[in-house]
């Protein structure tokens, strides 16, 4: 969620951050020599130098998101998967229609981030890269694609204004209306949002079914408030077929949600009224975004 602003630097000492930053930026053998040189050892020992280098991770903090988004756009994980889970650079670049030198740099970064492995001249899948396969059951590609859109990133540029205007909304300042109004007016972005949310809903609902099925005992109707495209209820009514689901969301969302047996779509505004049911269900994913931007 914090992709453009964060690199995993907080939990590591600055010298490790520096090392990983250097190897990610200059992963050639010359950088290894540089890291091992006495001058670099001296530099490593200097807290000031470490602090400056750590600042690089903020300056370039957008890089992991940009490169993972690029990998999804190019469908690198999908293509490697469809070729048995492992491919050489020439065959991968031919399959993707990409320039080999550029693809090599992208793959080097993705290997550095442990998203793919590189052994015996072949790139192979990892548990991380499998999450980037579009349309796979547990894919998180749609979430990355949503959060990396200019629409979602631009309001972060206004965070300092938010600090000065107690009741301002960077999203509204940027786009002229709130996120839901923006989605209503922009069906393409609405689809990206529904797909991104569906990733979360699929993972969390599957966990609920597995970890605490007893909470649904005795419940015959369940309303998902802000249920998006109905992913959560689809999973829940399949697991607990005695439950009648009500997928409640704004009209532009319910209007395009795929139909599902056992789930009734109801359009409305939760601040006005919510359909009656034995239990209501509310999944809030945007806490961090809301905390800062709304
Ligand atoms: C963050 S998404 C969560 C989607 C899904 N429940 C999940 O957790 O993946 C919030 C949902 O609330 C819906 N929503 C926002 N304002 C609403 C309102 N006033 N009434 C009903 N639904 C609303 C949005 O359209 C969106 O689908």
- Tens of pLDDT along 268-285? 999 999 999 999 988 876
Residue spans of the domains in the chain: they are 14-59, 63-130, 214-290
Distance CA 171, CA 152 (A): 8
Pocket test for ligand 1, best of 224, 250, 291 (most atoms within 8 A of CB): 250
Pocket test for ligand 1, best of 201, 249, 272, 293 (most atoms within 8 A of CB): 249
Pocket flag, ligand 1, residue 196 (CB < 6 Å): no
- Tens of pLDDT along 8-23? 444 454 445 555 555 5
Task: For ligand 1, atom 14, name the residue with the nearest CA.
Answer: 226
Model confidence at 69, in pLDDT bands (50, 70, 90)? very high
Residue 253 φ then ψ, to 5°: -90, -50
- Tens of pLDDT along 96-136? 999 999 999 999 999 999 999 999 999 999 999 999 999 88
pLDDT at 2: 36
As to burial, measured by CB atoms within 10 angstroms (0-12 exposed, 13-18 middle, 19+ buried), residue 223 is buried
Pocket flag, ligand 1, residue 226 (CB < 6 Å): yes
Mean pLDDT over residues 146-157, rounded?
Answer: 95
Q: Indicate the class that CATH gives domain 214-290.
A: alpha beta
Position 184 pLDDT exceeds 70: yes
Q: Candidates 3.40.50.300, 1.10.10.10, 3.90.730.10, 1.10.3720.10; correct CATH number of 63-130? A: 1.10.10.10
CA of residue 225 to ligand 1 center, whole Å: 7
Distance CA 271, CA 177 (A): 17
Pocket flag, ligand 1, residue 180 (CB < 6 Å): yes
Pocket flag, ligand 1, residue 291 (CB < 6 Å): no
Pocket flag, ligand 1, residue 202 (CB < 6 Å): no
Residue 1: how many CA atoms within 13 Å on its side-chain side? 11
Sign, CA dihedral 208-220-195-181, equals: negative
CA of residue 230 to ligand 1 center, whole Å: 11
């Amino acid at each position: 969620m914090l992709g453009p602003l964060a690199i995993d630097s907080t939990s590591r000492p600055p010298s490790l951050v520096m090392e990983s930053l250097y190897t990610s930026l200059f992963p050639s053998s010359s950088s290894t020599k540089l890291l091992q040189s006495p001058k670099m050892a001296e530099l490593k020992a200097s807290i000031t130098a470490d602090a400056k280098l750590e600042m690089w991770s903020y300056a370039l903090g957008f890089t992991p998101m940009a490169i993972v988004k690029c990998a999804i756009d190019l469908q690198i994980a999908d293509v490697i998967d469809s070729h048995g889970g492992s491919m050489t650079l020439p065959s991968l670049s031919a399959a993707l229609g990409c320039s080999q030198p550029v693809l090599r740099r992208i793959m080097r970064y993705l290997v550095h981030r442990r998203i793919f492995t590189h052994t015996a001249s072949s790139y192979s899948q990892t548990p991380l890269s499998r999450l980037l396969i579009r349309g796979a059951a547990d894919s998180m590609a749609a979430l990355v694609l949503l959060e990396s859109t200019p629409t979602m990133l631009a309001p972060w540029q206004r965070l300092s204004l938010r600090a000065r205007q107690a009741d301002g909304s960077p999203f509204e300042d940027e786009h002229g209306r709130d996120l839901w109004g923006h989605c209503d007016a922009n069906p393409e972005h609405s689809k990206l949002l529904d797909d991104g949310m569906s990733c979360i809903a699929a993972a969390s609902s599957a966990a609920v079914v597995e970890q605490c099925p007893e909470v649904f005992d005795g419940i015959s109707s369940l309303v998902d408030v802000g249920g998006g495209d109905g992913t959560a209820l689809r999973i829940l009514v399949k697991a607990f077929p005695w439950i009648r689901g009500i997928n409640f969301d704004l009209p532009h969302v319910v209007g395009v949600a795929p139909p599902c047996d056992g789930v009734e779509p109801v359009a409305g505004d939760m601040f006005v009224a919510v359909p009656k049911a034995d239990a209501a269900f509310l999944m809030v994913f945007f806490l961090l975004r809301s905390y800062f931007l709304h």
